[in-house]
A and B are shown apart, each in its own frame.
Chain A
Amino acid sequence: MNKPVRNLAVACLVLFAALLINVNYVQFVEADSLNSKNNNKRVLNEEFSRDRGAILVGGDPVAESVRSKDQYEFQRRYTNGSLYAPLTGYFSYTYGRGGLENSQNRVLSGSDNRLFVNRVVDLLGNKQPKGGSVELTINPAAQKTAASGLEALGKDTKGAVVALDPRTGAILADVTQPSFDPNRLASHDPDKEARAWKRLTSDPNQPMLNRGTQQILPPGSTFKLITAAAALEDLNLNPSSKVKGGTSLGFGGGITYRLVNENGSSCGGDPITFEQALDVSCNVSFGSIAGRLGQKRLADQAAKFGFGTDPLVGLAANPSRFTAEGTDLEAPQLAQSGIGQYEVAASPLQMAMVAAGIANDGEVMRPYAVKTIRTPSLRVLEQTEPERLSQAMSARNARKLQDMMVSVVQKGTATSAQIPGVRVGAKTGTAQSTADRPPYAWFVAMAPANDPKVAVAVVVESSNTARSEIAGGRLAGPIARSVMEAVLNK
């Protein structure tokens, strides 16, 4: 009977080998992916007991972990929570993480591979591992100015401000209103946390939406900058070229629809100069230019400025669009698209990138919010290098368009953005939504025109201000100006 026993011994060996291989698989190979699963309370508990790294703005922490006396060792605290919430996001036990708290989690929690040596040192020293810190590109003065500008329009006004450094793509301000206080979600009291989460997620005003990067709206007349760029590039127009003006634009071929200007104006004649067309934001001129360009060239120009892609790393953003997927524009729709209506939708970030691209002589930089990542001992781990996204237009044409934008501020619709002693360029926009809602007020600007330091886009979605009062220049212009002043130290 020994032979069967020997065979069974081999079988038992196989069983135990299978067990050993399997635990190696679970505890070694699969461990990382299991540890990063949602609702893994062990990892969460550990993260909550850890000295999580800070998120810094201008050297001061806007999110940091402080000692706590309750069931976890540390409490996440947000200074100026709602001001920086669109960037920091939140850090919640039950509801996970958002924003940079999520995308930079490995660094902040100290589990990043580049922090391995630190972890080993901490392990040997029997110290709790610490997280690395993340320094943002945000200019605190600009951020605060933008927020108080929106707040001045009324607490229930929805809006967003995004400011960029045109030369690098660094995000100088990213403000959204309404915002939320991430401190409430960081509460260690599960009931408080649940109440806060419920209130935030059921709020029809979507306070957790980063309107600066996630909300895409019809950009209205600010889109004329892109139409103008395409005209300079592809139609060889000059600021002094004559383009169609007048009160309305017809399309022939039995189409009765006519594209008209706001308030029925005539744009000051027909024909008018290209520069004047932008100064007065003439719908007829840009509708006609869009028709001359055609859908493809206009769409290509928009894409060169970043439409259709999500350029942002580490923060939630939605790509802007020129048309919905697969739309073939008829002549009237093409004209409407040329003035930023119909299916065109853009985020404030995208429109800031347009202004920044023009200001930076046609070169569009990839926007970024994280400047430096440091180890717990403040050694620099990673420094974001500016990266070129595309050359949207030639430098020569970009300078022409800069001059045209400056002209809009000096004698056009954007006089509210004038800063004494600074050549500011801008473009207003007022986009129609539905008849029962007020239109969106847009304002994009950049300064100074020859040596760009800041580009900004402001959108005000709705306001108690009477409908007729809404024009990008009046509502959004002063906010854009004060943000530029904050960056330029004026």
Chain B
Amino acid sequence: MSSPVADQGTWFPRKRRGAELVLVVMATLIGIGAYAAVGLGAEGTVPADVLKLGGAIVIVSIATHVVVRRLAPYADPVLLPIVICLNGLGLAMIYRIDLGCEGYCLGGDYQPLANSQLMWTAIGIVLFIAVLAVVRDHRRLQTYTYTFGLAAIVLLALPLMPFIGENIRGARIWIRVGPFSFQPGEAAKICLAIFFAGYLVVKRDALALAGRRILGIDLPRGRDLGPILVGWGISILILVVQKDLGSSLLFFGLFVVMLYIATERPGWLVVGGSLFALGSYAGYLAFGHVRHRFDVWLHPFSDPDANGQIINSLFGLAHGGILGRGLGQGSPQLTPFSFSDFIASAAGEELGLTGLMAILLMYGIIVERGLRIALTCRDGFGKLLAAGLAVSFALQVFVVIGGVTRLIPLTGLTTPFMAQGGSSIVINWAIIGLLLRISDQTRRPAPEISSFDQDEATQVVKL
């Protein structure tokens, strides 16, 4: 190893900011190239503003890199470039769907989305920088454990409030303030993760050790598990009322996973898995819309008119084949909501199996980096938080992309960084900010403790 070695043999981790810069430039070029390719493919010309917009994006990307260099010099160097790449591809895809959808989608009422998505991306980057600037040490968040818990519940309940709550496409998960609509559930995800991490890291010993053994599983005492069960229960209840299947699944998964990490007891996975299976079955029996999702999943071609969305998603993927139709040259507008839930199938159609696999691998690397941060993190809270965020990210990608490729029944969740939707993109940037903060803390060398050679000055008794 050629890593710099300090005189006393202390190992200094490399910052790798230079590598990050190179990757950031490459990622930015991929995004701008995709934008130009969309224009070429769909309209035969490179978009007129490609230089202006591209220049702005390069400046913003590099500025973001510089901020990381300043505020989190030891942070993981791979996360930011991957996120920039995914975000850029997502923007290009949304622009592409704008071109295809104009006057066609949503019964002709389609409004272009790329500009607002660009604006939300900017807000996301600002929030990302804010997280790095404000949260100088992630352990400070632990002091607000219950505040975050309460915030999560309030956020989740907001859409149910009169006046600001909005019911869009059968799910009441939106709020509208002035011209902006927002999905507070996305923000609740971070709050819940912080709440779980803060709570579990304190109670982990009690949860793991105190309690009674029933059916081979050590059940913790009610007073230890109670608060978290209440917080989680309220969240799930709200989501069920809002008919938001995807988020219920995600929060449940997050809870079970963090409980498992904190207690190191695989029994929790078994309990969680069984509860999930039971819940799914009960949902199947009790709710028509859950049953419908299952039927569509198993037999999409039994009713081509009603199941047009998943069928068209599959048609798009198949039409894309191995190498794809090329950006701007497929027909993603034929799949309803290809700009949001089904953006992965739009990418699969135009970038092909190759492109979709690359996107999946990028998501995979984000998860891997998150878990790596959790492994190396020195404090329990950071470990739990990083692992929780990473696993929930993995679950989210699995649920939404698995849904649109018919691996599992379809549930509504956003595709991180790619799907249209302000709340999702902003919150995911914040999550990456948190992960970088934890990673910076983790990889930063321990503060140098100066040797006590000022003995003389502090001597009480002169020798």
Q: Which residues of A contact B (CB under 8 A)?
A: 1-9, 12-13, 15-16, 18-20, 22-24, 26-28, 30-32, 34-35, 37-43, 45-46
Contact = CB atoms under 8 A, between A and B. Distances in A.
Interface in B108-123: none
A440 B261 CA distance: 85
Nearest to A18: B407
A2 B374 CA distance: 8
A35 B318 contact: yes
Given A19-B398, A27-B352, A28-B353, A1 B320 contact: no
A31 B318 CA distance: 4
B316 A42 contact: yes
Contacts of A35: 315, 318-319
A436 to B, nearest CB: 43
A2 B398 contact: no
B387 interface: yes
B331 A41 contact: yes
Given A16-B360, A27-B353, A31-B318, 12 more contacts: A8-B260, A8-B371, A12-B368, A16-B363, A19-B397, A22-B407, A23-B317, A28-B353, A35-B315, A38-B304, A40-B319, A42-B334
A315 B299 CA distance: 31
Most buried by A among B318, B384, B387, B406: B318
A42 B315 contact: yes
Interface string B253-264: 000010011101
B364 interface: yes
A16 B367 contact: yes
5 nearest A-B residue pairs (beta carbon) = A34-B318, A31-B318, A27-B353, A22-B407, A12-B394
A22 B406 CA distance: 8
Contacts of B172: none
A13 B391 CA distance: 11
B301 interface: yes
Contacts of A31: 317-319, 321
B204 to A, nearest CB: 8
Nearest to B402: A19
Given A12-B394, A35-B318, A42 B402 contact: no
Interface string B356-377: 1100110110011001001100
A26 B314 CA distance: 7
Contact of B371 (A9, A23, A45, A46): A9
Interface string B339-356: 000000000110011001
The dominant DSSP class at the B interface is helix
A2 B375 contact: yes
A37 B390 CA distance: 39
Interface in B318-333: 318-322, 330-331
The dominant DSSP class at the A interface is helix
A3 B312 CA distance: 42
A16 B353 CA distance: 15
Contacts of B348: 23, 27
A23 B357 contact: yes
A23 B301 contact: no
Given A27-B356, A28-B321, A37 B315 contact: yes
Contacts of A32: 318
Given A2-B375, A12-B394, A40 B315 contact: yes
Interface of B: 257, 260-262, 264, 266, 301, 304, 312, 314-322, 330-331, 334, 348-349, 352-353, 356-357, 360-361, 363-364, 367-368, 371, 374-375, 380, 383-384, 387, 390-391, 394-395, 397-398, 401-402, 405-407
B261 A34 contact: no
A15 B380 CA distance: 26
Contacts of A27: 317-318, 320-322, 348, 352-353, 356
A19 to B, nearest CB: 5
Contacts of A16: 360-361, 363-364, 367, 394, 397-398
A24 B317 CA distance: 10
A326 B157 CA distance: 72
B321 to A, nearest CB: 6
Nearest to B330: A42
Given A16-B364, A23-B353, A42-B331, A4 B322 contact: no
Given A16-B364, A19-B402, A40-B315, A3 B264 contact: yes
B391 A19 contact: no
Contacts of A46: 319
Given A4-B261, A12-B394, A23 B360 contact: yes
Most buried by A among B261, B312, B334: B261
A42 B333 CA distance: 10
A1 B352 CA distance: 40
A46 B349 CA distance: 14
A30 B318 contact: yes
B318 A23 contact: no
Given A20-B360, A22-B407, A23-B348, A5 B387 contact: yes
A26 B318 contact: yes
Given A16-B360, A16-B394, A23-B353, A1 B317 contact: no
A44 to B, nearest CB: 10
A3 to B, nearest CB: 6
A45 B261 CA distance: 52
A188 to B, nearest CB: 16
Nearest to A46: B319
B209 to A, nearest CB: 15
A124 to B, nearest CB: 13
A19 B405 contact: yes
Contacts of A42: 315-316, 319, 330-331, 334, 349
A46 B371 CA distance: 44
B264 A18 contact: no
B85 to A, nearest CB: 17
A46 B325 CA distance: 11
A19 B321 CA distance: 16
A46 B368 CA distance: 40
A18 B321 contact: no
Nearest to B365: A16
B98 to A, nearest CB: 19
A106 B362 CA distance: 38
A4 B260 contact: yes
19 contacts: A4-B264, A8-B257, A12-B371, A16-B364, A19-B398, A19-B401, A22-B402, A22-B406, A22-B407, A23-B317, A23-B353, A27-B317, A27-B321, A27-B322, A31-B317, A34-B318, A35-B315, A39-B304, A45-B331
B200 to A, nearest CB: 10
Contacts of A6: 375
B318 A5 contact: no
B371 A5 contact: yes
A24 B356 CA distance: 10
Contacts of B397: 16, 19
A413 B271 CA distance: 90
A43 B330 CA distance: 10
Contacts of B361: 16, 20
